[in-house]
Structure 1
Amino acid sequence: MPVEETLNPKRIVDVFGQNSAFYKKLSQFIQKVKENNTKVFDKKYEEWKSIFSSIYNIECNENLFLKHCYYCTTLFIFLVVRISIKKGADVKEAYKTYISKNYDKLSSPILQTFEWVNIDQETFHQIYRLLFKAHIEKEDLFHYYYQDIIRSSIRHSTGEFYTPSNLVKKMVKNSYEFGMKILDPACGSGNFIMEIISRIIESHKSDGLKYQAIENIFGFDINPLAIFTLKINALIILDEYMPNINMKKLKLNFHYIDSLFPQNNEFKKLKLNQDELLNSFDLIIGNPPWLTYKDLKEKTYQEKIRNLAEKLNIKPKSQYITHIELAAIFFYAIPTIFSKSNGIIFFVATKSLINGDHCKKFRAFWKFENIEIWDFSNNSCFNIDHICLKAQYTGNKTKDIQQKYPILAKIFDENLNITKETEYSSLKIEKDGALVILPKKDIEYLSNIQYSQYKKRFYQGATLVPRNLVFFEINSEENNILSISSSKDILSRSKKKWRFQFKNKKIEKDFRFKTFLNKDLVPFFLKRLRDVFLPIDKENYKFKTEYLKSNPLAYDFYKKMNHIYEERKKSTSDIETLFSNLNYWNKLTKQTNTSPYLVVYNASGSYLKSAVIEQFEQKIIVDSENYYYSTEQKNEAYYLTAIFNTPLITKYIKLIKSSRHIHKRPFSFPIPFYDEKNKDHYKLAQKGKKYTSYVHDLVYNNPKITSQKIRLILNKNLLKLDPLTKKVVFE
């Protein structure tokens, strides 16, 4: 690194990231230390596991531990070198400080887990030279490095989604005033906190006032690695840009705490005065975990979340319990515990808070006033539909829900410039909450629309998971016996936990069923059917132990797959057997009496797509990625698929759907029952047949054709469906 080179987040990744020469060298060194000190390593590994096994919803293995050791070692050296340089210490003195591992500002449970790694003097000297005269930028230094070392699947398992710095700056500028007492209750590696520290440093206030303002910043997180990163980041920046600050007296209030369930003994252990923390904050800001109830690893924690949702009066109906959003819990619980009356709360969250059925009670905004929504075009900050939600905490139930609406909304473009300010309201406001929140102009149009009676006639398919245990490819067939192996396609996309491969297993032919996935469905056509093993009889779709035992090959195969299921299922799951999982809520067995014409559409996605399956020769099992309706009437089936593939319906669904989920949203519009005598209904049915024929030919000539390509080719035809659908459904 040349003298005086700027050391910014991207450069840190270049120098220390997984693709760097330094990463390779130090990782090999750590591996050798491990091999030469197995007893010490094993002890520290177990200590580390005891901390992180309850944090990550994945397997905590040695590889991850070694990455943590590398990451923490480099961060600690980074801090020691920069502070030593400022003190005028030479490389030998700096190395002694590093070896001592004695830095009280970093009090953290993970310090002890990597103290067994002491890099040699030569490597330390190499880092010292790299950092000696580098210019440190005043920002969140390590966010790219953290993301580079800790892969996204691990971070996402805890609900961590990094907030882009431009959005952080916007939110902080909009809400923070110098000297405010602020809390980020799920601070991660600290991008919001580092932005606030930067603003404090840049202010024209005295060092004494800056000192007080910094001590008014609090960050809590359940991940000690994130807190460790934040502390080092803050110490480096403060030492760099506030050289007169007394580091020994400075109190950094960044702590390893579960802010939803803070314990008094935790506060005491950290020497925090509980009375000075509770209901004391002016601003609560951040990006809480993007997790739902079903993502939580521990059953006891699920129960705590469910009970807290009930206590906060935002617990959804029973069918939505597994969809409880942690962000919704944070939005209500954190200010209840920590905010002053009239304090501000400002969070990044998934858009389902304002348009998900499971968040109806949340939208009562019981304890809030002056609500404000930031909405973003084209998902400019994340790949998931998102918003920022700001409100003033009142401390008690406030005025009638009706009076909370309409809500001020600011619309931002992809560059985070405000394109307009408008008002959002709800389709329906009731005593216990509000339905989907939308722009007022859309509400005015949609408010008079009624639900379709078809809603009760469509069902979600069966949960044919874990797919690795039941989807297969046929090797050979002889005398009604199939030789089968794992589906390569399913195996290639499986989660690590369920990555299991079987080869050349035998089953009786009667246990072979046909199904399809969302990806196999394109507008007007089903491109592919897949083989799936189901332990049921083909007549009644029932699981009968005696029947299964009378087919010894299938029985043996099921026993083995069921054993794997029982071993690997979540500890929080009450679903004891593989068949119970396949038949969750009887979604498999209820498919026994389907009619010849099956109308199917996708349960999630950016666009609605639908097809008709004519199942005269063989019945098809519908998977939970899709919804279905069976009918004896051919024209009715094609009438429905024509409507579902209409661009107009997708346009309206996008207004009201939660994230990518479609589910029964198509029936939020009054699609009438098919009437053979109605000329427009009949026209739609004929167009459905015609376009099915078109797409059949497209798929025949190009089996890998995508839904997007089909929509492009059929664009003019699909647009012709819009006025006809509008007349039938909306007029």
Structure 2
Amino acid sequence: MLNYRSEFKDHEETKINSESFINLFGSSSQIFKTGKEIFLKIIQYFNKDSVEYRNLIIINPNLNENIIAIQLYYISILRGLIIGLLKISNKSLDEKNYDSIVNINEKSESSKEIIYRDLISEIDLVKPFLEKCYKQNKDWNMSYFNILFHFVNNKAFLKEILINDLFQQFYLDLFPGSLRKKLAEVYTPIWLARHIVDQSSWGTLLSERILDPSCGSGTFIKEFITKIREKHEETTNTEKIFDFIIESIFGFDINPIAVFTSKLNYLLHILDIIPENKSFNIPVFLKDVFKAEPSIELKFDHILGNPPWINWENLTEYNKDFLADIWNQYINSNYTGMNSMLGHTKQDISGLFFIRVAEKYLNNNGKISLIMNKSLINGKANSSFREYLLHGMEKENLSKNVSIIQIEDLGAFQPFKNVITSTIILHGQQGVDKKENFPYVKWKVKSNLNLSSVETLSINNFELESITADYIKIGPDSNIIIPNSKLNIKLINRSSEKSEKYFAKEGANTEGLNAAYWIKEIKETNGNLIKFSNYNHRQNKKIYLKHEIPIETDLVFPLIRSGNISKWLYTLDTFIIFTAKYFLEEIREEKYFKKKYPNTLKYFANIKKDLINRKSYIAKSKNLPYYIMYGNSDMISDYKVCWKRMGKKIESVVIGKEDNLLIGKKSPIPQETVVYINTGSNFEEAHYLCSVINSELFNHAVSDIKIPGTKSFGTPDILNYINIPEFKEKNKNHIDLANNSKLAHKIKLSGKNTNKIEEKNNDLVKKIFS
């Protein structure tokens, strides 16, 4: 027999608990490493065209054999736990008798034994693989069975499972984060699930039903059962409580492994109150809520959970078409609209999931609370979802739809391990009047809190600000939801009219070929010519050349990249050959370009094939010369206020003309990931705007409108929502802000701290918006 007992003995001096379970059976253990190799060999034994193999990959045909082997290992360990429980119940099952362990089909009158056997039968799709494992690897199986028996015989361990979600921890340990992200498996911390369960009024009536429509390992189900048992812990009639739980707490999931795990979690939480000789089924079902009609004729009073956050881009074309058809049931839309809604910003399908489960499964006046991506309430791509929530659907054959009754905004806090996102809890109710204003709760992590482990937190670790939020119209057919915090109520434009004074724009775009336009080194030759080396960019290695053909300096400008920008400071290390179509008349006509810039045209002619193959050039600029790039004359203005399009904060800097011995005095050109406001020759106005944009008040407002950390956080359209007062030379506050910005630039350049001057600016900005 393999010597896993020695590995177990190493842990025997410590307690038998969740930690030692993960140590013994998790991804670093010898049991796992051996088990994975065993299942890899078994998988390879079955032909990929066989029924057994096709059944195994039915969840996701794209899974590789390594992942399938881990899934089989995971199931085998959980099955071993159930066999251990069966052994405790059935004393005739001998832990030393291998056949009595792997063959568990004996008849029994005991309710517990029947449910154990039924639960094991749930995983018939992997039965051929497990049976082959049992036949060929007796030593390995007996070793881990014997260790598992020690765990299930330990009452303290079984009690710990009731408190902590062991199966979630085990799954997270075994499966790589990249895979879970692709499969939209974002597991909810127990304390967050508990908070959402506590927020619901469920449990006050013994006739209400609840549903977790994407139950995963059963975290929400576990919390529901715990809540009802705690509420009625003094009740001596445990059969009544058991009946209520079984008849009221339901779960769905599309993944058979999740259903199996959730059922086991469910079982462990009712194990001690199962009546003798009572037949029942654990109400967790394998179901795709998008496809299947309800197999149980039930509606629910409460729906809670954490739906799949699957990116639209990760769906098959079949599923895209299928989901688009579903979306059309709820909104006057079309495939193009749906594709735009979800594909434009790589959004997930959780918004459609919210609508679908509410319409199919929620009772009239029933409530739904789901953990969602914040982009659903303020992302451009999700305007159709908000339109549904605000105005409802226009199809007469469907029931009255759900309305928002509250939003909880988790702010900058990241509740999910290894997943960066902006998270909300969206609370809705079926059959109530729609309102354009509703409660909004902002979460803020209390100071000095250690966030190294989000699993150990509680709602008490947060400050909760209760305010309201509005639907704000931002176009003829579009709206966003914005909270009415004290800080942003004056700042955010609550009309559909855009600012008439200040407009932001994106920088110059080479349309996918930076290596052709960006240059790193320039050297003087004769007259108005320079030699240069291309910027070493990963996009096109073949263009990494030192060009012997000199080019004219007229079109060479300093380049401001996003990496060059910080608050109050910028650096320069790159140049760009600026051939924007709206820059100079000579650029738009090749014959004039050749006459004025013959050397530059020779350079572009050498890489003409690369330039004309740019997708955006083919789509938009076919009637223009092949060397054209996106840009305009604003980009060469004397003064610009610039900031990064991507980031967690808007941090701006004033950029003016720079003198260079080889190309002369020129204004740096911002790249496309830099956003800028052109103030022309007005130096004071540029610094006034820079102070406003760098203020806490401005950043607070942008964070309410946009999602920090995303690619669209600092896009030009933020000025569509924020009313920056027009600069007035006679306004003392405006002048003070401009002077403070000039001083902050000097202080930052010297390497010193700008905190004091920023505090003064924050007070001044509040005054100009008051």
Q: 1:392 aligns with which of 408, 424, 429?
A: 429
Structure 2 letter corresponding to 1:364: L
Equivalent residue of 2:28, what SS?
Answer: coil
Could you tell me which residue of structure 2 aligns to residue 124 of structure 1?
141
Instruction: Measure, in 1, the Cα distance between the counterparts of 2:518 and 2:123.
Output: 48
Instruction: Measure, in 2, the Cα distance between the counterparts of 1:83 and 1:614.
Output: 77
Q: Do the aligned partners of residues 433 and 505 (structure 1) sit closer, same or farther apart at CA in structure 2, a change above 3 Å counting?
A: closer
Could you tell me which residue of structure 1 aligns to residue 676 of structure 2?
628
**Deviation (angstroms), 1:523:** 0.4
Equivalent residue of 1:19, what SS?
Answer: coil
CA contact (8 A) 1:461 1:624 kept: yes
**Deviation (angstroms), 1:284:** 0.8
Could you tell me which residue of structure 1 aligns to residue 754 of structure 2?
714
Q: Do the aligned partners of residues 168 and 662 (structure 1) sit closer, same or farther apart at CA in structure 2, a change above 3 Å counting?
A: same
**Deviation (angstroms), 1:609:** 0.5
Instruction: Measure, in 1, the Cα distance between the counterparts of 2:749 and 2:36.
Output: 54
Q: Do the aligned partners of residues 168 and 416 (structure 1) sit closer, same or farther apart at CA in structure 2, a change above 3 Å counting?
A: same
**Deviation (angstroms), 1:71:** 2.4
**Deviation (angstroms), 1:303:** 4.3
Could you tell me which residue of structure 2 aligns to residue 189 of structure 1?
217
Instruction: Measure, in 1, the Cα distance between the counterparts of 2:275 and 2:758.
Output: 68
Could you tell me which residue of structure 1 aligns to residue 748 of structure 2?
695
Structure 2 letter corresponding to 1:221: D
Q: 2:641 aligns with which of 571, 596, 599?
A: 599
Structure 2 letter corresponding to 1:349: M
Q: Do the aligned partners of residues 85 and 688 (structure 1) sit closer, same or farther apart at CA in structure 2, a change above 3 Å counting?
A: same
**Is residue 63 from structure 1 mapped to residue 66 from structure 2 by the alignment?**
yes
Equivalent residue of 1:91, what SS?
Answer: coil
Could you tell me which residue of structure 2 aligns to residue 337 of structure 1?
360
**Deviation (angstroms), 1:127:** 1.7
Q: 1:107 aligns with which of 110, 117, 122?
A: 122
1:202-249 deviation digits (Å, cap 9, x = unpaired): 6444336514522543322233332233234334555x43465669x4
Q: Do the aligned partners of residues 50 and 503 (structure 1) sit closer, same or farther apart at CA in structure 2, a change above 3 Å counting?
A: farther
Could you tell me which residue of structure 2 aligns to residue 350 of structure 1?
373
Could you tell me which residue of structure 2 aligns to residue 284 of structure 1?
303
**Deviation (angstroms), 1:718:** 1.4
Q: Do the aligned partners of residues 409 and 263 (structure 1) sit closer, same or farther apart at CA in structure 2, a change above 3 Å counting?
A: same
CA contact (8 A) 2:510 2:629 kept: no
Q: TM-score by structure 1 length? A: 0.74
Could you tell me which residue of structure 2 aligns to residue 214 of structure 1?
246
**Deviation (angstroms), 1:192:** 0.5
Could you tell me which residue of structure 1 aligns to residue 95 of structure 2?
91
**Is residue 326 from structure 1 mapped to residue 349 from structure 2 by the alignment?**
yes
* More deviation, 640-649/371-380: 371-380
CA contact (8 A) 2:642 2:652 kept: yes
Could you tell me which residue of structure 2 aligns to residue 703 of structure 1?
none
Could you tell me which residue of structure 1 aligns to residue 468 of structure 2?
424
Could you tell me which residue of structure 2 aligns to residue 565 of structure 1?
none
Question: Residues 592-671 of structure 1: matches in 2 within 5 Å?
Answer: 592-593=632-633, 594-596=635-637, 597-614=639-656, 622=670, 625-635=673-683, 636-660=685-709, 661-663=713-715, 664-671=717-724
**Is residue 138 from structure 1 mapped to residue 162 from structure 2 by the alignment?**
yes
CA contact (8 A) 2:488 2:701 kept: no
Question: Percent identity, aligned pairs only?
Answer: 22
**Deviation (angstroms), 1:444:** 5.5
Q: Do the aligned partners of residues 117 and 132 (structure 1) sit closer, same or farther apart at CA in structure 2, a change above 3 Å counting?
A: closer
Q: Which runs of 5+ in 2 are unaligned?
A: 1-7, 106-115, 393-400, 447-457, 595-599
CA contact (8 A) 2:180 2:186 kept: yes
1:451-487 deviation digits (Å, cap 9, x = unpaired): 7736872124578898999999979999968587655
Could you tell me which residue of structure 2 aligns to residue 262 of structure 1?
291
1:618-672 deviation digits (Å, cap 9, x = unpaired): 7766555432233432514333223211233223333444454343335533223
**Deviation (angstroms), 1:714:** 0.9
Question: Residues 172-321 of structure 1: matches in 2 within 5 Å?
Answer: 172-175=197-200, 176-177=202-203, 178=206, 180-199=208-227, 203=232, 204=235, 205-207=237-239, 209-211=241-243, 213-238=245-270, 240-242=271-273, 244=275, 249-259=279-289, 261-264=290-293, 272-273=295-296, 276-277=297-298, 280-291=299-310, 293=312, 295-313=313-331
**Is residue 19 from structure 1 mapped to residue 28 from structure 2 by the alignment?**
yes
Q: Do the aligned partners of residues 483 and 688 (structure 1) sit closer, same or farther apart at CA in structure 2, a change above 3 Å counting?
A: closer
Could you tell me which residue of structure 1 aligns to residue 765 of structure 2?
725
Instruction: Measure, in 2, the Cα distance between the counterparts of 1:444 and 1:124.
Output: 64
Equivalent residue of 1:388, what SS?
Answer: strand
Could you tell me which residue of structure 2 aligns to residue 453 of structure 1?
499
Could you tell me which residue of structure 1 aligns to residue 3 of structure 2?
none
Q: Do the aligned partners of residues 320 and 297 (structure 1) sit closer, same or farther apart at CA in structure 2, a change above 3 Å counting?
A: closer
Instruction: Measure, in 2, the Cα distance between the counterparts of 1:535 and 1:99.
Output: 76
Equivalent residue of 2:288, what SS?
Answer: coil
Q: Do the aligned partners of residues 412 and 147 (structure 1) sit closer, same or farther apart at CA in structure 2, a change above 3 Å counting?
A: same
Q: Do the aligned partners of residues 45 and 678 (structure 1) sit closer, same or farther apart at CA in structure 2, a change above 3 Å counting?
A: farther
Could you tell me which residue of structure 2 aligns to residue 438 of structure 1?
483
Max Rg structure: 2
**Deviation (angstroms), 1:185:** 1.4
1:141-161 deviation digits (Å, cap 9, x = unpaired): 211111122222222223332
1:115-139 deviation digits (Å, cap 9, x = unpaired): 4544722222222222223231325
**Deviation (angstroms), 1:312:** 2.8
CA contact (8 A) 2:509 2:631 kept: no
**Deviation (angstroms), 1:296:** 4.2
CA contact (8 A) 1:475 1:485 kept: no
Q: Do the aligned partners of residues 340 and 13 (structure 1) sit closer, same or farther apart at CA in structure 2, a change above 3 Å counting?
A: same
**Deviation (angstroms), 1:341:** 1.2
CA contact (8 A) 1:608 1:650 kept: yes
**Deviation (angstroms), 1:43:** 8.3
CA contact (8 A) 1:516 1:530 kept: yes
CA contact (8 A) 2:407 2:427 kept: yes
Question: Residues 77-88 of structure 1: matches in 2 within 5 Å?
Answer: 77-88=80-91
Instruction: Measure, in 2, the Cα distance between the counterparts of 1:28 and 1:534.
Output: 57
Q: TM-score by structure 2 length? A: 0.71
Q: Do the aligned partners of residues 246 and 17 (structure 1) sit closer, same or farther apart at CA in structure 2, a change above 3 Å counting?
A: farther
Instruction: Measure, in 2, the Cα distance between the counterparts of 1:464 and 1:225.
Output: 47
Instruction: Measure, in 1, the Cα distance between the counterparts of 2:172 and 2:402.
Output: 35
| Corresponding residue pairs, total | 662
CA contact (8 A) 2:506 2:674 kept: yes
Could you tell me which residue of structure 1 aligns to residue 108 of structure 2?
none
**Deviation (angstroms), 1:165:** 0.7
* More deviation, 113-122/647-656: 113-122
**Deviation (angstroms), 1:66:** 3.0
Structure 2 letter corresponding to 1:725: V
Structure 2 letter corresponding to 1:152: G
Give RMSD over aligned pairs: 4.9
**Deviation (angstroms), 1:506:** 4.7
Q: Do the aligned partners of residues 603 and 292 (structure 1) sit closer, same or farther apart at CA in structure 2, a change above 3 Å counting?
A: farther
Equivalent residue of 1:51, what SS?
Answer: coil
**Deviation (angstroms), 1:601:** 1.7
Structure 1 letter corresponding to 2:126: L
Structure 2 letter corresponding to 1:523: K
Equivalent residue of 2:654, what SS?
Answer: strand
Instruction: Measure, in 1, the Cα distance between the counterparts of 2:219 and 2:282.
Output: 15
